[in-house]
Chain A
Amino acid sequence: MKKLMLGNAAAARGLYEAGCAVVSSYPGTPSTEITEEAAKYDEIYCEWAPNEKVAVETAFGACLAGKRSFCGMKHVGLNVAADPLFTISYTGVNAGMVIAVADDPGMHSSQNEQDSRHYAKAAKVPMLEPADSKESLAFAKLAYDLSEEFDTPVFLKMCTRIAHSQSIVETGERVTPPEKRYEKNIAKYVMMPGNAIRRHPVVEERTRKLIAWAEESDINRVENGDDHSMGIITSSTSYQYVKEVCGDTYPILKLGMIWPLPEKKIIDFAAAVDKLVVVEELDPFIEEHCRNLGLNPAGKALFPLEGELSQNLVADKLGIAHEAGPGLDETIPPRPPVMCAGCPHRGLFYTLNRNKCTVLGDIGCYTLGAVAPLAAIEMTACMGASVSAIHGFNKALGKESEGKTVAVIGDSTFMHSGMTGLANIAYNQSNSTVIILDNSITGMTGHQQNPTTGYNIKGDPAGKIDLESLCRAMGFTRVRVVDPYDLQQCDQAVKEELAAEEPSVIISRRPCALLKYVKHKPPLTVTDKCKSCQSCMRIGCPAISMKDGKARIDSTLCVGCGVCQQLCRFDAFESTGKEA
Chain B
Amino acid sequence: METKNIMIVGVGGQGSLLASKLLGHLLMEQGYDVKVSEVHGMSQRGGSVVTYVRYGDRVSSPVIDRGEADFIVSFEVLEAARWLGFLKPGGQIVTSTQQIDPMPVVTGKMPYPENLVDKMKATGAKVDAIDCLSLAREAGSSKAVNIVLMGRLSHYFDLPQQAWQKSLEFIVPPKFLELNKKAFELGKNA
Q: Return B55 CB to nearest CB of chain A, in Å.
A: 10
Q: Is A396 on the interface with B (CB-CB < 8 A)?
A: no
Asked if B107 and A372 make an inter-chain contact with CB atoms under 8 angstroms apart, the answer reads yes
Asked if A165 and B36 make an inter-chain contact with CB atoms under 8 angstroms apart, the answer reads yes
| Segment among A285-293, A324-332, A401-409 that sits at the interface with chain B | A324-332
- Chain A residues in 8 Å Cβ range of B87: 325-326
Q: Is B63 on the interface with A (CB-CB < 8 A)?
A: yes
Residue of A nearest to B101 (CB): A545
CA distance A325 to B125 in the complex (A): 10
Q: Is A304 on the interface with B (CB-CB < 8 A)?
A: no
Counting chain B residues whose Cβ lies within 8 A of the other chain, the interface size class is: 35 or more
Asked if B119 and A338 make an inter-chain contact with CB atoms under 8 angstroms apart, the answer reads no
- Chain B residues in 8 Å Cβ range of A368: 45
Known contacts being A312-B65, A325-B88, is A335 close to B35, with CB within 8 Å? no
Q: Is B130 on the interface with A (CB-CB < 8 A)?
A: no
Asked if A4 and B119 make an inter-chain contact with CB atoms under 8 angstroms apart, the answer reads no
Residue of B nearest to A27 (CB): B41
Asked if B34 and A337 make an inter-chain contact with CB atoms under 8 angstroms apart, the answer reads no
| B72-92 to A contact mask, C-beta < 8 Å, 1/0 | 000000110110111111000
Asked if A29 and B42 make an inter-chain contact with CB atoms under 8 angstroms apart, the answer reads yes
Residue of A nearest to B112 (CB): A333
Q: Return B59 CB to nearest CB of chain A, in Å.
A: 7
Asked if B42 and A168 make an inter-chain contact with CB atoms under 8 angstroms apart, the answer reads no
Q: Is B48 on the interface with A (CB-CB < 8 A)?
A: yes
Q: Is A112 on the interface with B (CB-CB < 8 A)?
A: no
| A128-141 to B contact mask, C-beta < 8 Å, 1/0 | 00001000000000
Residue of A nearest to B145 (CB): A556
Most buried by A among B42, B43, B100, B124: B42
Q: Return A512 CB to nearest CB of chain B, in Å.
A: 11
Asked if A4 and B102 make an inter-chain contact with CB atoms under 8 angstroms apart, the answer reads no
- Chain A residues in 8 Å Cβ range of B44: 337
Q: Is B66 on the interface with A (CB-CB < 8 A)?
A: yes
CA distance A544 to B103 in the complex (A): 10
- Chain B residues in 8 Å Cβ range of A29: 40-42
Interface size on A, residues (CB 8 A): 62
Q: Return B118 CB to nearest CB of chain A, in Å.
A: 11
| A83-108 to B contact mask, C-beta < 8 Å, 1/0 | 00000000000000000000000001
Residue of A nearest to B27 (CB): A4
Which residues between 58 and 74 of chain B lie within 8 Å of chain A, taking CB atoms?
A: 59-63, 65-69
CA distance A330 to B81 in the complex (A): 9
Q: Return A168 CB to nearest CB of chain B, in Å.
A: 6
- Chain B residues in 8 Å Cβ range of A367: 42
Known contacts being A29-B40, A166-B35, A244-B60, is A339 close to B28, with CB within 8 Å? no
- Chain B residues in 8 Å Cβ range of A272: none
Q: Is B1 on the interface with A (CB-CB < 8 A)?
A: no
- Chain A residues in 8 Å Cβ range of B61: 237, 240-241, 243-244, 310-311
Asked if A546 and B45 make an inter-chain contact with CB atoms under 8 angstroms apart, the answer reads no
Q: Return B72 CB to nearest CB of chain A, in Å.
A: 10
Asked if A326 and B119 make an inter-chain contact with CB atoms under 8 angstroms apart, the answer reads no
List 15 extra interface pairs beyond A164-B39, A165-B35, A542-B46, CB under 8 A: A2-B28, A166-B34, A166-B38, A167-B36, A240-B62, A241-B60, A325-B84, A330-B113, A331-B113, A333-B112, A335-B82, A337-B46, A339-B45, A445-B41, A446-B40
List the 6 shortest-distance A-B pairs measured between CB atoms, nearest first: A109-B41, A29-B41, A323-B67, A337-B47, A165-B62, A335-B102
27 CB < 8 A contacts A-B = A4-B28, A29-B40, A30-B40, A32-B40, A109-B41, A164-B37, A166-B35, A166-B37, A168-B28, A168-B33, A240-B60, A241-B60, A323-B67, A323-B68, A324-B66, A326-B84, A326-B87, A327-B84, A335-B103, A337-B47, A338-B47, A338-B103, A367-B42, A542-B100, A545-B106, A546-B106, A546-B108
Interface residues of B (CB under 8 A from A): 11-13, 24-25, 28, 33-48, 59-63, 65-69, 78-79, 81-82, 84-89, 100-113, 116, 119-120, 123-125, 133, 142
Interface residues of A (CB under 8 A from B): 2, 4, 6, 29-30, 32-33, 108-109, 132, 161-162, 164-168, 237, 240-241, 243-244, 310-312, 322-340, 365, 367-368, 371-373, 444-446, 537, 540, 542, 544-546, 554, 556, 580
